[in-house]
Amino acid sequence: MSQKIPYDSQRQAALTQQFDHVKAMIDTESKARATEPVSLLAVSKLKPASDIQILYDHGVREFGENYVQELVEKSELLPSDIKWHFIGGLQTNKCKDLAKVANLAYIETLDSLKKAKKLNEARGKYQPDQPAIACDIQINTSHEDQKSGLQNESEIFEMVQYLISEENKYVSLSGLMTIGSWDVSHAEGEENKDFSTLVEWKKKIDEKFGTKVRLSMGMSADFKQAIKQGTSEVRIGTDIFGVRPPKDQAKIL
């Protein structure tokens, strides 16, 4: 790993203040729910490595990235005790590149058995001494064609069975993840039906397999509702880091 990435003090002050503000809101909401604390995943996609270094120096250790190449490059530049979460659309041919990242801790968007097998095989080949990759099964709760994720019960159960099997040492079952539909996430209402659907899947899976899967649901627009409905983690980008640049203008360094 190279030397520590420099940053300017003005950006440091603004970013740490934003992070603390979001974290305080999440802690307040989760206390009101009176259950386990909700973890905050800082989504740093298309943001420079210096932003991540700022929050790392502020004590943050878990970051979410959406693009494989960006995650790989950032992992080579930044401290090795960061726990990277991959939260973007996963292509089968990119499983190997992700599995090679020693401190890749989570993949939250696993949506096919083929990809799970590829990850297990590649992790075992390239990083056999690192912890298994914790996987969230992505479920398409809104039944939107453009969204990734499983919907079929037999496919979901087959994936759970594979991830909890002792034969597969390099991937493990962490939980379930969903991205609610835009309309539902921005609607005023008591309950987000996409989140309710994910909670139902958790109940079914825990009952059938004796698991205690975590839930990853809720982003900047709908995280308060996600906390009310029982999420374990919220994924926040814009509210912490500010507006993202277009992909073709984003710079890591």
Q: For position 191, which CATH number holds?
A: 3.20.20.10
Once rounded to an integer, what is the mean pLDDT over residues 81-99?
97
Of the pLDDT bands very low, low, confident and very high (cuts 50, 70, 90), residue 64 is very high
Note whether residue 219 is domain-resident: yes
Note whether residue 23 is domain-resident: yes
Q: Locate 197 and state its tokens.
A: 């659907």
Residue found by looking up tokens 């397999």 in the block? 209
Note whether residue 247 is domain-resident: no
Note whether residue 135 is domain-resident: yes
Note whether residue 249 is domain-resident: no
Note whether residue 40 is domain-resident: yes
Note whether residue 225 is domain-resident: yes
Q: Locate 115 and state its tokens.
A: 């990809």
pTM of the model: 0.95
| Residue 54 CB burial class (10 angstroms; 0-12, 13-18, ≥19) | buried
Give the count of domains, the chain: 1
Q: How far apart are CA 92 and CA 98, in angstroms?
A: 10
Note whether residue 1 is domain-resident: no
pLDDT digits (tens, 9 = 90+) for 133-154: 999 999 999 888 888 899 999 9
Q: Which domain, by its residues, includes 214?
A: 9-242
Q: How far apart are CA 253 and CA 250, in angstroms?
A: 9
Q: How far apart are CA 239 and CA 201, in angstroms?
A: 29
